[in-house]
Amino acid sequence: MKILKGLLLLIVGIIILALIVALFVKKEYVVEREVVIEQPRDTVYNYIKYLRNQDNFSKWANMDPEMKKEYRGIDGTVGFVSAWDSKDGGVGKGEQEIIKLQDGARIDTELRFLKPMESTSYSYMATEDYQGIYTKVKWNFNGKMNYPMNLMILVMNMEQMIGNDLQTGLNNLKVILENKK
């Protein structure tokens, strides 16, 4: 009985300690990757502003070939929504909406994840001229984890986990666009 009581006190103590630590852990995360593509900026921007094209280069869009997809609105315009629903827990269910466009330069989106865990994140892809004939593309993913879920930032390497997926997508984008020459 004493062992059980001691074990219970230890578990409660660990939980309390974790909740105290979570008070001091940052809640925001930002991950960004970039790639240089041998194409003019207009060509690159006019490809990435269409969310449906992410199906061709995004690692996440290709993780489940059986994923159900739904599109609402006019692609390439503010308000367009690309939704997905997958039985694969790594993909889950959610939607991405274009919330802002800076013509020729940037597309901002809001990502609403519904399953396996509800959260909202933001993303943008920005293009800039680079050494005359090239375009630099930056892909940024950022969000917030509220207390006490922000403890996950300590155990999940967001920079590596999300960053590797962003870089894979950018590398795929580079191959697609450079083969369009």
Per-block mean pLDDT, blocks of 10 residues, the chain (181 long)? 82 76 74 96 96 93 88 97 89 94 96 88 96 94 76 70 91 93 62
- State how many domains the chain has: 1
Q: According to the model, what pLDDT value does residue 79 have?
A: 97
Residue 47: give its domain's CATH number.
Answer: 3.30.530.20
Is position 21 within any domain? no
Long-range contacts of 162-167 (CB under 8 A, 24+ apart): 162/29, 162/31, 163/31, 163/32, 163/33, 165/59, 165/60, 166/31, 166/32, 166/33, 166/139, 166/141, 167/33, 167/35
22 in any annotated domain: no
Output the pLDDT for position 30.
86
Residue 19 resides in a domain: no
CA distances from 127 to 51, 91, 102, 137 (A): 15, 27, 10, 5
94 domain-assigned: yes
- Does some domain include residue 14? no
Quote the domain boundaries for residue 62.
27-178
Q: What is the pLDDT of residue 150?
A: 62
Domain membership flag for residue 122? yes
